[in-house]
Structure 1
Amino acid sequence: MSAAATVRVEHDGAVARIVLDRPDRHNAQTPGMWRELREATDALVADPAVRVAVLTGDGPSFSSGLDLDERRPGGLLHRIATTDPGEGLAVTEQAQADFRWLSRAPFPVVAAVHGAALGAGLQLALSCDVRIVAEDAVLAVAELGLGAVPDLGATTDLPRLVGLERALDLILTARRFSGTEAVELGLALRAVPAADLEAEALAYAERLAAAPRLALARAKEATREPDPARSLRLAATAQVECVRAMLSSPTTRP
């Protein structure tokens, strides 16, 4: 990537780190960052050695949300406000497509959340499969506090994770809560001291990476499928595929 890249990828073996790399702006997000995130994920998908990814942020925060410079002429919010509504919708849907690719990646993605995860920052963490958070992290679905709507996944992810009533509370009040409360709500898997976050997330990812990539991918796909009948069908089809792969090469992982 160029010197102006805002996402970097590091990996050696089965676990990759995807790092948001705008530490001076608390990893405030831009459409360019979302495109880079999609490109980084595509590159990891193409690498058969990668079985798990850990998404984190460089510097003091995971991500403070959308860069408010996007309100300026030429920025995302300015374009949505000043173009034809259909064009604004297309711009927003492209942002969603770039942003949400992590949830469709054929391997588990673990978010390691520290510092601030606000607005689009929290929604990015929600798009991952598992969240491990610092106890003192500060999280919020902040959009309604600015008169906007969380359009990058919170409206689908939060009800699934915490139930409708709690999801509405978090979205409508835009209140801030800690990493410890995120676990209590069911929004994150575990909360740890900030100093231990990176090691905990990598250790968890290494544990997942002990399984074959094919099985990880198919289990993720079936579990994320919201329709029960289709989820069962995906699991059954995956079982046949994984067993055939396992028995065709009994001494190596598929």
Structure 2
Amino acid sequence: MSGATVQVERRGALARIALCRPERHNAQNLEMWRELRTAGLRLGEDPEVRAAVLVGEGQSFSSGLDLAEMRPGGFLHAVAESSDADALTLIEEAQAAFGWIGAAPFPVVAAVRGVAVGAGIQLALACDVRIVAEDTTLAVAELGLGAVPDLGATVDLPRVVGLERALDLILSARRFDGNEAVALGLALRAVPSAEVESEALAYAERLAAAPRAALAWAKAATREKDSARSLHLAALGQVECVRAMLTAGISPRATSRSAATTPRG
């Protein structure tokens, strides 16, 4: 599952997904988006994976869209020069690079340090949990460039921090650090930069101790916006998990960690 710009390492039930363009502060391009989507979908098909950590190699999580994609022949020029239908298809393909995270049947933890702006912070926001460096620089920077954050911030920020704070961060394009991210509710905790990845890996490893089915259904139900639908998903998950426990003849505290089905319906 490793490519030129995204590398995946398995550590038991835990997967470490790394953006690997450190010389560019993990600036994102079409190749990275394609490799990230492929890696994520393949991990979702692996029944042994119960948690993942997403990191950026080098000094930064991700500095956003690679400047080369803004030049002639790059992604943004292709969008501008295409028909409306083709332009929307291009953007939807880019969105799919992040979209698998919310649908993954396991939690994904972002380990964020250095810089996470534009597409970088949107990738972090797509994850289920964020652990950040205290001195991280974050910004939803698109409006400062006269553009719109189209890779998930308009959905994920209101879900995470509420509408008013989301609008402030999007419309002002202002920069903020890891401590403010925690205060806003955007990150779970802020730690010294040198501890970010180890903290995220330890946290994800604790999550991976739960059965795959319980993780998958709990995540799906919690991410569901409609309350009735959320309760329905929780009920479906409970049925599957209780049946698995009883079939195995063990108590809930000793539930089997073997793979189970992904949430359906």
1:84 to 2:88 alignment:
no
Deviates more, 1:124-133 or 1:67-76: 67-76
Structure-1 separation of matches of 2:104 and 2:88: 24
Structure-1 separation of matches of 2:249 and 2:11: 25
Q: CA deviation at 1:72?
A: 2.2
The aligned residue for residue 168 of structure 2 is 169
Where has structure 1 moved over 3 Å in runs of 4 or more?
A: none
Structure-2 separation of matches of 1:102 and 1:168: 23
Aligned partner of 1:237: which letter? L
Deviates more, 1:106-115 or 1:154-163: 154-163
The aligned residue for residue 118 of structure 1 is 117
1:36 to 2:40 alignment:
no
The aligned residue for residue 196 of structure 2 is 197
The aligned residue for residue 96 of structure 1 is 95
1:105 to 2:104 alignment:
yes
Structure-2 separation of matches of 1:78 and 1:164: 31
Q: For residue 59 of structure 1, give the secondary structure of its aligned residue in structure 2.
A: coil
Preserved contact between residue 60 and residue 114 of structure 2 (Cα < 8 Å): yes
**Aligned sequence identity (%):** 71
After superposition, give the CA deviation of every residue in 1:54-83 in whole Å (9 maximum; x if it has no partner): 000000100000111112232110101111
Structure-2 separation of matches of 1:91 and 1:41: 19
The aligned residue for residue 219 of structure 1 is 218
The aligned residue for residue 47 of structure 1 is 46
Structure-2 separation of matches of 1:227 and 1:107: 21
1:159 to 2:163 alignment:
no
Q: For residue 177 of structure 1, give the secondary structure of its aligned residue in structure 2.
A: coil
The aligned residue for residue 253 of structure 1 is 257
Aligned partner of 1:5: which letter? A
Preserved contact between residue 51 and residue 207 of structure 2 (Cα < 8 Å): yes
Q: For residue 63 of structure 1, give the secondary structure of its aligned residue in structure 2.
A: coil
Preserved contact between residue 209 and residue 257 of structure 2 (Cα < 8 Å): no
Q: For residue 235 of structure 2, give the secondary structure of its aligned residue in structure 1.
A: helix
Q: CA deviation at 1:198?
A: 1.3
Q: For residue 9 of structure 2, give the secondary structure of its aligned residue in structure 1.
A: strand
Aligned residues: 253
Q: Which runs of 5+ in 2 are unaligned?
A: 251-255, 259-265
Q: CA deviation at 1:203?
A: 0.8
Preserved contact between residue 246 and residue 253 of structure 1 (Cα < 8 Å): no
After superposition, give the CA deviation of every residue in 1:174-198 in whole Å (9 maximum; x if it has no partner): 0000011000000000000111111
Deviates more, 1:91-100 or 1:115-124: 91-100
Q: CA deviation at 1:100?
A: 1.5
